[in-house]
Amino acid sequence: MGGLMEKRKIQVGDVGRFVMVDEPVISPDGWLVAFLVKRTLVTEDRYSSNLWIYNRQTRRLSQLTSGGGDHSPAWAPDGLRLAFVSRNPQGMAIWIADLEGHAAPRPVFHTKGRIPRFHWSPEGEHILFLHRKEEKDIKEIEDIPFWIDGEGFICQGATQLLRLNILSGEVETLTDTETDVRSFACSHKGDRVALCLAHKRDFYLCDVLLMDMETGAIQEMASGFQTFVPPAWSPDDKFILIQGHRRQRGMASHNDLWLIPVDGGKPRNLTAQLPLNIGNSLYCDVRIRILQGPVWEGKCVYFLLSEGGAVKLARVNVESGELKVIVDGDVGVNSFSVKGDYLAFSKGTDTAPIELWEKTKEGERRITHFNDGLLRHVNIARPERFTFRASDGQAIEGWIIKPNDFDPNRGYPAILWIHGGPKSKFGYDFMHEFQLYAANGYAVAYLNPRGSDGYSEDFADIRKHFGERDYQDIMEGTDWLLNKFPWIDPDRLGVTGISYGGFMTNWIVTHTDRFAAAVSEEGISDQITMFGTTDIGPFFNKDVIGGEPWSNLESYLEKSPLLRADRVKTPIMFIHSLDDLRCGVEQSIQLFTALRCLGRKAKLLLLPSGGHVVGWTGRPSLRIERLRQKLLWFDEFLKR
């Protein structure tokens, strides 16, 4: 068969060869799409992200910027300029590119602090943006949380809203130092700004307020929303749209779309009839992390819909309440932009990383092909979906990837992968790590047990019951897999997971010895120190464990794998970054120390940086070393 090239197996280093494409933004006239392209520069141990432009008329792609730290594109109202944020070791800056004059992009504001979000004013003469000052070396802390994973300390004043005059360079501060602004949106007329302010008694809740841009007067519109994406305005400026929830099920609550009347009245839940969550919690290790909010276009609001293992693009008609899925199928949509009947969106599958797509009346068409060259040369195994019935009758969804060069007459080791959250999920997005295990002779199984996203709130709600029904689902799923696929060797099972998945890995090895090897990453072993040392501990643990350690010590001890260290027989490796502020490094250190005191087989791999989930967001060298170490550990105990 001359001319046919034999594909090679996926390698550890391929994690640095995938190109990440995301964040499309359509120009005001609808003919250009700006988007982000992020590459991994392995030899320099860093990433390079730049903006590209897609021309719908010519179907031509062109690179616009080359700063290497560019992101967050936003079109000026005239469609002739594009603003973006650029980050480098010296700080962050807002830049403007003049597309008509073809002049080089120019910086208009620079800071050593942070610029979380920005927005053009409707007249195009100002840019409104959020700003947090640079932190001092000495920390004076008077409130919690005082640090946030991925950001570091946040005790140097509040995140404030500023306004930049583009021509003069003058910067005006619009909110005070006591008010922490989480997100905002300008009205279409530019006379008002919707603000989401951190709740004074709970940092992760927001109050929605309205600021008059002429007088500076602030009016409270609604309170008590947990939301992490910017609000949006209706086309007539009569409503503010919020994507979030009011903790009706605590941390297990589904997001909804809420309409807040500007002239007064109670918020109305636009998606109350929807039994699924709004947003993207799908696992993918070669993706840009985008917090995509809803987009109001015409009479409809567009949003991401989490359904089973998929994340789809849907819309709801504000007047009729009619729901319609616009981008359907076994896909993971990550971000999108809408202009009239034209859609630009990023979409991946479980066999191909995210690329940029467009949808018109004629249908969907793929715009970019950045990863085609690599995919032509490597073997990608196709996951097989399955469902099984748990002992209480609940259907549980999962997937299995067979080893490369699979032979049904042979026996194979298998690795069970557990996602974090617990309210996240596995499904139809690309995981290089899964393909790597399959390339090295392993079957890979992954489930969405109770607690996962993509299903009902009842399904997601395991608060105060960690390690119970979720653990049963995972164990019953393992039994089902061994019965369904007799080629899986029951004596060569491995288990691994990140965050909550790390907690569950710790829980599993303290409750059963059926697994021959385990790798726990950024997990939890001690709920008391989780409460007291992490960015979400006082809020998260109070909800999912129940109360505080001093009011409910029994539950905190019961849900701490550390206190069952003497039961562990499984060789286990812990992986943690030193600057993880979500589930602190002491979580892995404590259980590792206990196991070594007991003479048990354990290893601790500490990575210098990368924050929580360092395997996805850390420096390329750290991501590669993590994968190499995991393979070595599983090979040692599962390939004997």
185: β partners:
194
- Do 418 and 506 have their domain in common? yes
- Do 268 and 331 have their domain in common? no
Q: Token pair for residue 262? A: 């500007």
401 domain-assigned = yes
In percent, the amount of the chain with pLDDT more than 70 equals 99
Q: What whole-number distance in Å separates Cα of residue 370 and Cα of residue 374?
A: 9
Q: Token pair for residue 639? A: 């390939």
485 domain-assigned = yes
440 domain-assigned = yes
Q: Are 89 and 72 in contact (CB under 8 A)?
A: no
- Do 268 and 283 have their domain in common? no
Number of neighbours of residue 374 by Cβ within 10 angstroms? 15
Q: Token pair for residue 530? A: 């989780």
Tokens 């120009």 -> residue: 27
- Do 282 and 185 have their domain in common? no
CA dihedral sign, ordered 323, 328, 329, 330: negative
Q: What whole-number distance in Å separates Cα of residue 381 and Cα of residue 378?
A: 10
459 domain-assigned = yes
Q: Read off the pLDDT of residues 438-475 as tens digits, 9 standing for 90 and up.
A: 999 999 999 999 999 999 999 999 999 999 999 999 99
Identify the segments of the chain with pLDDT beneath 70.
1-4
Domain containing 468 — which CATH number?
3.40.50.1820
445 Cβ contact partners less than 8 Å away, ≥ 6 residues apart: 398, 399, 400, 401, 414, 415, 416, 417, 477, 478, 481
Q: Is the peptide bond before 403 cis (omega within 30 degrees of 0)?
A: no
**Secondary-structure breakdown of the chain: helix, strand, coil percentages, each rounded to the nearest 5:** 20, 40, 45
Local structure of 622: helix, strand or coil: helix
- Do 233 and 315 have their domain in common? no
Q: Are 303 and 243 in contact (CB under 8 A)?
A: yes
pTM above 0.85, yes or no: yes
Local structure of 630: helix, strand or coil: helix
How many CA atoms lie less than 13 Å away from 196 in the CB half-sphere? 24
Q: Is the peptide bond before 422 cis (omega within 30 degrees of 0)?
A: yes
Q: What whole-number distance in Å separates Cα of residue 231 and Cα of residue 210?
A: 11
What's the pLDDT at 1?
43
Tokens 């050593």 -> residue: 112
Q: Identify the domain containing residue 451 by its residue range.
A: 382-525+560-638
188 domain-assigned = yes
Q: Token pair for residue 515? A: 């697994």
- Do 258 and 289 have their domain in common? no
CA dihedral sign, ordered 318, 324, 330, 331: negative
Domain containing 247 — which CATH number?
2.120.10.30
Virtual CA dihedral for 190, 69, 197, 546, nearest 10 degrees?
Answer: 150
- Do 246 and 386 have their domain in common? no
What's the pLDDT at 443?
99
116: closest CA among 279, 1, 259, 228?
Answer: 228
Q: What whole-number distance in Å separates Cα of residue 442 and Cα of residue 438?
A: 5
* Centroid of chain to Cα 72: 16
- E strand map for 350-500: 352-360, 363-366, 384-389, 395-401, 412-418, 443-448, 488-498
Q: What whole-number distance in Å separates Cα of residue 498 and Cα of residue 343?
A: 34
What's the pLDDT at 2?
47
- Do 388 and 326 have their domain in common? no
Q: What whole-number distance in Å separates Cα of residue 204 and Cα of residue 254?
A: 15
Report the alpha-carbon angle 160-163-164, nearest 5: 130
- Do 442 and 491 have their domain in common? yes
Local structure of 457: helix, strand or coil: helix
Q: Give me the DSSP letters along 181-235.
A: EEEEEE-SSSSEEEEEEEETTEEEEEEEEEEETTT--EEEEEEEEB--S--EE-T
- Do 490 and 589 have their domain in common? yes
347 domain-assigned = yes
421 domain-assigned = yes
- Do 266 and 292 have their domain in common? no
What's the pLDDT at 4?
60
Tokens 């409130």 -> residue: 143
Give the type of residue at 158: A
550 domain-assigned = no
Q: What whole-number distance in Å separates Cα of residue 201 and Cα of residue 141?
A: 16
Q: Is 46 exposed, middle or buried (0-12, 13-18, 19+ CB in 10 A)?
A: middle
Q: What whole-number distance in Å separates Cα of residue 38 and Cα of residue 81?
A: 22
Q: Is 635 exposed, middle or buried (0-12, 13-18, 19+ CB in 10 A)?
A: middle
The residue out of 272, 295, 325 marking a domain boundary is: 272
What is the DSSP secondary structure assignment for residue 56, as one 8-state letter? T
The residue out of 256, 272, 288 marking a domain boundary is: 272
The residue out of 333, 349, 370 marking a domain boundary is: 370
Q: What whole-number distance in Å separates Cα of residue 289 and Cα of residue 118?
A: 17
Per DSSP bridges, beta strands 517-521 and 488-498 are: parallel
How many domains is the chain built from?
3
Q: Read off the pLDDT of residues 59-80 as tens digits, 9 standing for 90 and up.
A: 999 999 999 999 999 999 999 9
How many CA atoms lie less than 13 Å away from 452 in the CB half-sphere? 28
CA dihedral sign, ordered 122, 338, 55, 430: positive
509: closest CA among 522, 494, 499?
Answer: 494
Q: Are 361 and 346 in contact (CB under 8 A)?
A: no
384: β partners:
400
- Do 358 and 408 have their domain in common? no
